Amino acid sequence: MEVTIIGGGLAGVEAAYQLARRGYGVTLFEMRPHRSTPAHTTPYLSELVCSNSLKSNEISNAHGLIKEELRRLGSLLIRVADETSIPGGKALVVDRKTFSQRITESIKNNPFIRLIREEALDIPSGVVIIATGPLTSDAFSKKIKEITGEENLFFYDAISPIIDSTSIDMSKAFYGARYMERKEDYINCPLTEDEYNIFYDELIRAKQVPVRGFDTIPYFEGCLPIEVLAGRGKETLLYGPMKPVGLKDIQSQKRPYAVLQLRREDETGSMYNMVGFQTRLTYTEQERVFRLIPALRRAVFFRYGSVHRNTYINSPLLLNNGLQLLRDIRIFFAGQITGVEGYVESIAMGLIAGISVDKYLQKKPFIPPPEHTCIGALLKYITTVRHNFQPMNINFGLIKNYSKKEKASVVTHALESIAKWKKMMDDSSINRRSRLS
């Protein structure tokens, strides 16, 4: 049985490896070097387009825990990352060239994988995994649009930071939607005039991520980065995302001078989104400037804000929990295009797509990893969050029943569960490879 994978990035290669090790023949299309994206610069598979850090390696951190889960599931990319790592403190930092070179060699030498250096212009027949990433070629984007519907394919991200609710200083904030005092969907973070002035001055001179050729986004007026709005004048934010109308501070019983509203992001209220604060500030500047808002002095950022080009689909509407297209079940999606954000998250969704295709071809049910594992929680998020779906990094706020106080047992439980899930998936698999050899 043959599977075609389009896109030899992080997700496509992980999916190809997972299928090959289960004995399937894989045809992997990668358009580089004949046609490149605006961000890739080498001919190698699985190129890291920006940072050479795969973030924290500590299992007490969600980024570290998801890597450990991937290790235990036999991820090729995390294994090569470990082998090519260089000193980077608590983070898994790799020698980017050796990392991609070694992966390319391993795929080229894999007898089950045929690598074709060609841009896919159409969706082939048979079982297909689409893993063309945030910078999917224009011609292929049109094809994806045909199978998903124009309204379900997005081309850029303008996302606001998400805060760990336990890090919000509630002695300096209050609940309530505009004109509705007791509504708990929002937390309001008030600023006095002096506090606002300090915040504003730092915001307009904060460092931004440099604009690159591929990131010249035509900003939509309704979705302008907070610093761009601020640049239009000191009052602009007071009539926009920081307007205080309809809000009364519980303590002073007065309308604040300015307010940042935080909107609840999940059912349990563990994550709150900074409403209207999409931004291009660097991550360090987001921490520095946004912590000037009194209620956020000790804010922990689950996700940083960003505005960049990103092709992704409306997964909650289009995919089932095995990343399979509901409208045409022979087609699967993997990687950043499914609405995850980040290198390791993309690898995880490549691994899941590979296992899901295996189950589909064996006519066995695909059971997703439990929601209290990082991979299971991320998969659940991208396939179920219907309201205002936006790309997401892994963070503990996604994990079912996460409790900061009991982090150690959450971690142990996740790792035990991923091991059990692996066994369950392996047990229900016919090992085609051993049959073939």
**Positions that interact with ligand FAD (CB under 6 A):** 6-12, 29-32, 37, 39-40, 49-51, 119-120, 131-137, 140, 335-337, 342-343, 346
Closest contact distance (angstroms) between CB of 128 and ligand FAD is 12
For the record, the structure tokens of 257 come out as 């001078």
Pairing of β 174-175 and β 186-191? antiparallel
Q: CA 270 to CA 397: how far, in whole Å?
A: 6
- 28 - beta bridge partners? 5, 115
Residue 32 CA to residue 17 CA, distance in Å, equals 19
Least distance in angstroms from the C-beta of 66 to ligand FAD? 11
Which residue is closest to ligand FAD by CB?
9
State in angstroms the smallest separation of the CB of 321 from ligand FAD: 19
- Tell me how crowded residue 380 is: count the other CB atoms within 10 A of its CB: 19
Nearer to ligand FAD, 4 or 261 (CB): 4
Q: Could you tell me where the beta strands, DSSP code E, fall in 147-222?
A: 153-159, 162-164, 174-175, 186-191
Question: Residue 84 CB, nearest distance to ligand FAD (Å)?
Answer: 16
User: How many Å apart are CA 339 and CA 71, to the nearest integer?
Assistant: 22
Task: Tell me the closest approach of the beta carbon of residue 239 to ligand FAD, in angstroms.
Answer: 33
Element holding 387 (H helix, E strand): none
For residues 100 and 270, which CB has a smaller minimum distance to ligand FAD in the complex?
A: 100
Closest CB to ligand FAD among residues 50, 250 = 50
Identity of the residue, 133 or 256, whose beta carbon is nearer to ligand FAD in the bound complex: 133
Residues 274 and 260: beta-carbon distance below 8 Å: yes
What is d(CA 130, CA 150) in angstroms, rounded to the nearest whole number?
17
Determine contact, residues 242/258, Cβ cutoff 8 Å: yes
Q: Given the complex with ligand FAD, which of 120 and 355 has the nearer CB atom?
A: 120
Residue 307: CB minimum distance to ligand FAD, A: 12
Kindly tell me which of 7 and 397 has the beta carbon lying closer to ligand FAD: 7
